[in-house]
Amino acid sequence: MPAADVVAVVALARLACRRSKVVEIARSAGRYVVVIAGRGSRTGLVATPGRVVALLEFGSGTIRVGIVGCGRISGLHALGYRGREDARIEAVCDTKRTRAREKARAWGVEKVYADYLELLADPEIDLVELLVPHPLHA
């Protein structure tokens, strides 16, 4: 991530979200996702340097996560949610339904999908991790 871009996006995020503590920042496809915490809630935004693309409001509850792609890397991502009170895996999705069921059982997840569009349409999911093979990254 170019340092100047990060500084610009973080400043924009602090202004747009009216909070100052940056919890996480990630970059994908030329856009940045910034999560900011403060006063018992988490807010975020998707931005490019100089332009807010979307504001996100996570509220004060637990972030409910859906994981699309239950291959090898998914186990490492699942470890990041273990023991957390602010986020938990609520749904898994894989075109190989058997593999999705196995991961759901191992992680204590009830919702299993074979079609990512169904998971994306689930109103109880706040955040989706796309853990698909590199050629499928958008």
The verdict on domain 63-136 having CATH code 3.40.50.720 is: yes
What residues pair up with 32 in beta bridges, in sequence order? 27, 47
The residue ranges of every structural domain in the chain are: 3-59, 63-136
Asked whether residue 122 carries a pLDDT value surpassing 70, the answer given is: yes
Both tokens assigned to 60: 């004060």
Asked whether residue 87 carries a pLDDT value surpassing 90, the answer given is: no
Q: According to the model, what pLDDT value does residue 132 have?
A: 83
Mean pLDDT of 80-107: 93
The pLDDT tens digits for 24-52 are 666 665 666 666 665 556 666 666 666 66
Mean pLDDT of 99-115: 97
pTM of this prediction?
A: 0.63
Half-sphere exposure of 61 (CA within 13 A, CB side): 7
Burial zone of 78 (CB within 10 Å; 0-12 exposed, 13-18 middle, 19+ buried): buried
Both tokens assigned to 124: 């109880």
Instruction: State the Cα–Cα distance between residues 85 and 29, nearest whole angstrom.
Output: 30
